[in-house]
Structure 1
Amino acid sequence: MKHRTALLIATMIAIAPTAWAQTENVETMKAPGHASIKGTSRMTATVDSIDAATRTVTLKTQQGKMVEVEVGPEARNFDQLKVGDVVTTVYRESLSLSLKKNGTEPASISEQPSMERAAKGQKPGGTLGRQVTIVADVIAVHPKTKTVTLKGPKGNIVDLVVEDPEQIANIKKGDQVEAVYTEALAISVEPAVKK
């Protein structure tokens, strides 16, 4: 399963270069003991040519750039692709940091992957994502340099910059920080618009 997921990730990443970005939306939020940032990018390209023998698709971006993508066997319904089809990718990611006063749980890291493929007979597409949650211990607070030193689950030490004076005043040695990182990539294929 890991190997298959890695191949699918590689395929999806290959067809979502940032050069295709049409729109980008970034939102930030701050509250006492909490901060988050979310971003969304949308990319679109048109299928210019298909080599079924090598499962290679040439896509043309809206800027006219040609990109070759090798579509792995884990991508269903390759035979449904047609020249002129429109490929749309939507990439979302978010990071939230939450302060846990006088934290008592052990430092930890966990990851939850998710994957959904198009049903058989439909145009290729699907979603791929993951959520990573890390709990780290606050081992030092440095108000003058606006940094908090965190010790992660594997013993690694990280200095986190905290620009907001109210936020840093609320953090003490012995607290914990929970970071939740989420990313998802959705790919859809629509038939060419008939003129």
Structure 2
Amino acid sequence: MAYLKWVATAAMVAAAQLAAAQGQTSANVTHEPGKATASAMHKVTATIEKIDADTRTVTLKRHDGKMVDVELGEKVRNFDQLKVGDVVTMTYKEALTLSLKKGGGGAASMQETPQVERAASGAKPGGMVGREVKVMADVVAVDKKTQTVTLKGPEGGTMDLRVEDPAQLASVQVGDQVEAVYTEAFAVSVKPAQHK
């Protein structure tokens, strides 16, 4: 668990440092009776301009021309595989799926599952850190006038969820349950420079 916290911290620092860089962003929303999903992805690439092996610091050049220094701790495998000119790609993905469980019957619950992948020994540095959170909540009120459904979570807290689609709202009743599955992942990959 300590490794996961370290990786998550390192990933968030790197993401924050490159957040201002222009990248590719996409978002998607889908729905069907009793189910809706919203997902988004942001991808940023940068080029390694300088490597300081003594401090394990890599200087990245963003697409906007700005330089960003990122310190890579001892836990980052294969530091010696990095080369000036390599292309670093960082991808952040998140998704939320809400599913209606007619009639309920299960217990309200929450479960969080961490996910970590590291580069293999001898390969270019990279990896992924993420998590999946599943929550089962009880429908305790439906207000068609305000188009809201009140959900009660496993710890007794409630929240109002606005349902824009009247057909979706019409199928929700007190006693039903809603399962929410939230996933997020931050991945880093490194590819050798393309020589012309």
Scaled to the shorter chain, the TM-score interval is over 0.9
Deviations 1:136-169 (A, max 9, x none): 0111111111111111111111111111111111
Name the % identity. 53
**Letter paired with 2:77:** R
Deviations 1:157-184 (A, max 9, x none): 1111111111111111111100001112
The CA distance in 2 between the partners of 1:66 and 1:13, in whole Å, is 18
The CA distance in 1 between the partners of 2:31 and 2:143, in whole Å, is 20
Match of 2:119 in 1: 118
Match of 1:72 in 2: 73
Q: Is the 8 A contact 1:113 1:131 kept in 2?
A: yes
CA offset at residue 15 of structure 1?
2.4
Query: Unpaired runs of 5+ in structure 2?
Result: none
CA offset at residue 21 of structure 1?
4.3
**Letter paired with 2:149:** V
Secondary structure of the residue aligned to 1:123 is: coil
Match of 1:14 in 2: 13
Mapping for residues 1-195 of structure 1, pairs under 5 Å: 2-16=1-15, 17-195=18-196
The CA distance in 2 between the partners of 1:101 and 1:153, in whole Å, is 18
The CA distance in 2 between the partners of 1:41 and 1:172, in whole Å, is 36
TM-score by length of 2: 0.93
**Letter paired with 2:52:** D
**Letter paired with 1:191:** P
**Letter paired with 2:109:** S
Deviations 1:42-71 (A, max 9, x none): 110011222222222221101112222121
Q: Is the 8 A contact 1:50 1:58 kept in 2?
A: yes
The CA distance in 2 between the partners of 1:61 and 1:145, in whole Å, is 46
CA offset at residue 131 of structure 1?
1.1
**Letter paired with 1:190:** K
The CA distance in 2 between the partners of 1:65 and 1:14, in whole Å, is 17
**Letter paired with 1:45:** A
**Letter paired with 1:9:** A
Query: Unpaired runs of 5+ in structure 1?
Result: none
Q: Is the 8 A contact 1:21 1:41 kept in 2?
A: no
The CA distance in 2 between the partners of 1:92 and 1:136, in whole Å, is 24
CA offset at residue 194 of structure 1?
2.3
CA offset at residue 101 of structure 1?
1.0
Q: Is the 8 A contact 2:46 2:88 kept in 1?
A: yes
**Letter paired with 1:6:** K
Count the aligned residue pairs: 194
The CA distance in 1 between the partners of 2:13 and 2:86, in whole Å, is 18
